[in-house]
Amino acid sequence: MKAPEDETLYRLADLYKVFGDPTRIRILYALSGGELCVCDIAELLGMTQSAISHQLRVLKQSALVKFRRDGKTVYYSLADAHVATILAQGLDHVQE
């Protein structure tokens, strides 16, 4: 099996770094149940909206979450089914 190009490998390593933070994992799990606004995520996780917004920015930059506006409220959700699959497979792996 031929290894991917270096640039692709660096992007993959950066993606896995994003998964290296437990808070971001908790946010992704919260969003796996459906879209939420920052205030709902903050309440679920017992954190400040500022802290959640910071982590959501990282998740958006890595294309793991997407968002939509409804008036002044911004709702976040998982970017696609791949994100849910990565979470599920990672959890399966660590629970074996």
pLDDT tens digits along 11-53: 999 999 999 999 999 999 999 999 999 999 999 999 999 999 9
The residue whose two tokens read 């497979």 is 89
* Alpha helix ranges (H) inside the chain: 6-18, 22-31, 38-45, 49-61, 81-95
CA separation for the pair 58, 64 (Å, rounded): 9
In the structure, what pLDDT confidence band is assigned to residue 3 with cuts at 50, 70 and 90? confident
Cβ–Cβ < 8 Å for 54, 38 = no
pLDDT at 50: 97
Which fold, 8-95? Arc Repressor Mutant, subunit A (1.10.10)
